[in-house]
């Protein structure tokens, strides 16, 4: 018996690969391979010993380990986590995991390999960054080729518009089913800059959604905000490298700014076929964002012609976006406070943050909701963004 019961369809908007160190190098162009760094687990619960053991076994879990994972049955999601999870880095093993999870489809994101291509610095050659982007996208395609339930998420940094448009064309042609972009200003321009118009137009034309995801911008606030003259605080994993208390409190601000600017620049208005999702960034901020953008355009539209839209911002977002709430957020309240079409179910398999029972956590809030509301959350909103995913 699968974890997700057969009484309704569950479409999972968030899952992950736990990349091995050579995730990018193995799929990079030969002339770039030596200069692209290995994937690091320094800010993770995964230890070097775990990674080294897997690499010593040829980059696979042992047969005994896989057998023990399969024996968990419908308790797999409860006990199978991080790099030790079934299908964490092997596509065929992930197919076996999907049999036990029971989800109809599952978006698959990277975990740590996006750090190099996503985050620019003066020392990073754009040829290398976009070469690492292509390597990621090749590897994601290969991983998901084992099972049509796995929907590969490509990556495209927007910092070089010409290269971004070239890469999104390649990713769409090769069959990646969503494009993850960093939720920050692309170096010195707005995401709605005229030079990026071709990027958004191509996604809208191909009906391939863009996605924002935690890790697409720096996780932590600047050091000044943390300097209160007291001892440093630990992150939620017990170290200091991941999301800390103050980081969690303002995690939504950067994606909210990105989407607000994108909308105010008219990207959703000009491309009504464009679809997008914000994943693992919470959703408690969404109703107020919708209200805020509505009054901003209503008031400032008196003098700013660029924000005089036929559809209100909230309507644009309802029709073109969706968001994954954290498991502790009251999704029933959020749907009532804004619109039922705005929210997506996600498991975050095999990350610890996904909890041992994501469906059960959401059902605490949805148990009194109408069947149509629950169907919207677990399947129909996903299928509005990815209509070809319907099983």
Residue with tokens 């978006």: 107
* Global pTM value: 0.95
383 has which bridge partners? none
Domain range for 187 is 11-214+251-385
190, two tokens: 């707005």
Buried b (16+ CB within 10 A) or exposed e, 291-309: eebeebbeeeeeeeeebeb
243 compared with 89, residue with greater pLDDT: 89
In this structure, is residue 175 part of a structural domain? yes
Residue 44 has pLDDT above 80, yes or no: no
In percent, the amount of the chain with pLDDT more than 70 equals 98
126 compared with 237, residue with greater pLDDT: 126
127, two tokens: 């040829």
In this structure, is residue 269 part of a structural domain? yes
Q: What is the pLDDT confidence band of residue 223, given thresholds at 50, 70 and 90?
A: confident
Mean pLDDT of 351-369: 97
In this structure, is residue 246 part of a structural domain? no
Q: What is the pLDDT confidence band of residue 69, given thresholds at 50, 70 and 90?
A: very high
Of the candidates 16, 4, 9, 19, the one whose C-alpha atom is nearest the C-alpha of residue 279 is 16
Q: In what order do the strands lie in the sheet with 321-323?
A: 11-16, 105-109, 150-155, 178-180, 210-213, 276-279, 321-323
Of the candidates 338, 345, 354, 337, the one whose C-alpha atom is nearest the C-alpha of residue 382 is 345
Instruction: Determine the pLDDT at residue 205.
Output: 98
**Contact by Cβ (8 Å): 268, 316:** yes
Mean pLDDT of 200-208: 98
Residue 226 has pLDDT above 90, yes or no: no
In this structure, is residue 222 part of a structural domain? no
- What is the rounded CA–CA span in Å between residue 329 and residue 376? 17
Residue 72 has pLDDT above 80, yes or no: yes
Express each pLDDT in 106-115 by its tens digit. 999 999 999 9
Residue 123 has pLDDT above 70, yes or no: no
Residue 133 has pLDDT above 90, yes or no: yes
Please give the torsion angle defined by the CA atoms of residues 338, 341, 342 and 346, in that order, rounded to the nearest 10 degrees. 130
**Main-chain phi, psi angles of 138, to 5 degrees:** -65, -45
Q: What angle do CA 93, 390, 284 make, to 5 degrees?
A: 85
**Contact by Cβ (8 Å): 30, 364:** no
Q: What is the pLDDT confidence band of residue 43, given thresholds at 50, 70 and 90?
A: low
Of the candidates 213, 140, 144, the one whose C-alpha atom is nearest the C-alpha of residue 170 is 140
For residue 265, the tally of other CB atoms under 10 A from its CB is 20
DSSP-assigned states of every residue in 266-304: THHHH-TT--EEEESS-STTHHHHHHHHHHHHHHHTTT-
Instruction: Determine the pLDDT at residue 13.
Output: 98
Residue with tokens 């003066």: 122
In this structure, is residue 166 part of a structural domain? yes
DSSP-assigned states of every residue in 132-188: HHHHHHHHHHHHHTT-TTEEEEEE---SSHHHHHHHHHHHHHHT--EEE--SS--TT
Determine which helix (DSSP H) or strand (DSSP E) holds 180, and give its type and residue range. strand 178-180
Residue 97 has pLDDT above 90, yes or no: yes
Residue 99 has pLDDT above 90, yes or no: yes
In this structure, is residue 181 part of a structural domain? yes
Mean pLDDT of 207-232: 87
Q: What is the pLDDT confidence band of residue 124, given thresholds at 50, 70 and 90?
A: confident
276 has which bridge partners? 210, 321
In this structure, is residue 4 part of a structural domain? no
**Main-chain phi, psi angles of 108, to 5 degrees:** -120, 115
In this structure, is residue 35 part of a structural domain? yes
Residue with tokens 């995801």: 213
CATH of the domain at 31: 3.20.20.140
Q: What is the pLDDT confidence band of residue 224, given thresholds at 50, 70 and 90?
A: confident
Residue 352 has pLDDT above 70, yes or no: yes
Q: Chain-wide mean pLDDT for the chain? A: 94
Handedness of CA 261, 266, 270, 272 (dihedral sign): positive
- What is the rounded CA–CA span in Å between residue 130 and residue 115? 12
Express each pLDDT in 12-23 by its tens digit. 999 999 999 999
**Contact by Cβ (8 Å): 331, 325:** yes
What total of structural domains would you count in the chain? 1
Q: What is the pLDDT confidence band of residue 252, given thresholds at 50, 70 and 90?
A: very high
**Contact by Cβ (8 Å): 153, 109:** yes
Mean pLDDT of 41-48: 81
């Amino acid at each position: 018996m699968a974890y997700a019961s057969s009484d309704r369809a569950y479409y999972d908007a968030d899952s992950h690969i736990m990349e091995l160190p050579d995730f990018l190098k193995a799929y990079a162009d030969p002339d770039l391979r030596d200069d692209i760094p290995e994937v690091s687990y320094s800010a993770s619960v995964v230890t070097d010993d775990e990674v080294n053991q897997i690499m010593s076994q040829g980059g696979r879990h042992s047969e005994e380990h896989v057998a023990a994972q399969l024996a968990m049955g419908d308790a797999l999601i409860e006990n199978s986590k991080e790099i030790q999870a079934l299908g964490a880095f092997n596509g065929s093993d992930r197919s076996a995991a999907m049999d036990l999870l029971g989800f109809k489809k599952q978006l698959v994101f990277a975990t740590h390999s996006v750090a190099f291509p996503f985050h620019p610095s003066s020392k990073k050659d754009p040829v290398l960054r976009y070469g690492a982007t292509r390597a990621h996208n090749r590897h994601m395609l290969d991983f998901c080729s084992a099972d049509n339930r796995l929907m590969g998420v490509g990556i495209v940094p927007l910092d070089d518009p010409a290269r971004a448009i070239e890469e999104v064309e390649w990713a769409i042609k090769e069959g990646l089913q969503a494009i993850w972009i960093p939720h920050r200003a692309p170096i010195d321009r707005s995401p709605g800059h005229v030079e990026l118009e071709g990027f958004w137009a191509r996604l809208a034309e191909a009906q391939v959604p863009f996605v924002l995801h935690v890790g697409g911008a720096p996780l932590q606030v600047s050091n000044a905000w943390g300097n209160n003259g007291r001892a440093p605080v630990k992150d939620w994993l017990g170290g200091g490298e991941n999301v800390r208390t103050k980081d969690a409190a303002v995690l939504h601000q950067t994606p909210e700014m990105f989407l607000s600017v994108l909308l105010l620049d008219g990207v959703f208005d000009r491309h009504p076929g464009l679809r997008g999702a914000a994943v693992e960034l919470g959703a408690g901020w969404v109703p107020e964002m919708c209200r805020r953008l509505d009054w901003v355009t209503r008031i400032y539209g008196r003098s700013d012609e660029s924000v005089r839209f036929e559809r209100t911002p909230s309507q644009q977002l309802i029709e073109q976006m969706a968001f994954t709430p954290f498991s502790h957020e009251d999704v029933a309240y959020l749907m009532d406070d804004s619109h039922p079409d705005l929210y997506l179910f996600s498991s975050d398999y095999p990350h610890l943050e996904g909890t041992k029972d994501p469906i059960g956590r959401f059902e605490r809030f949805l148990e009194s909701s109408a069947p149509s509301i629950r169907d919207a959350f677990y399947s129909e909103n996903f299928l509005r963004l990815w209509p070809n995913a319907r099983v």
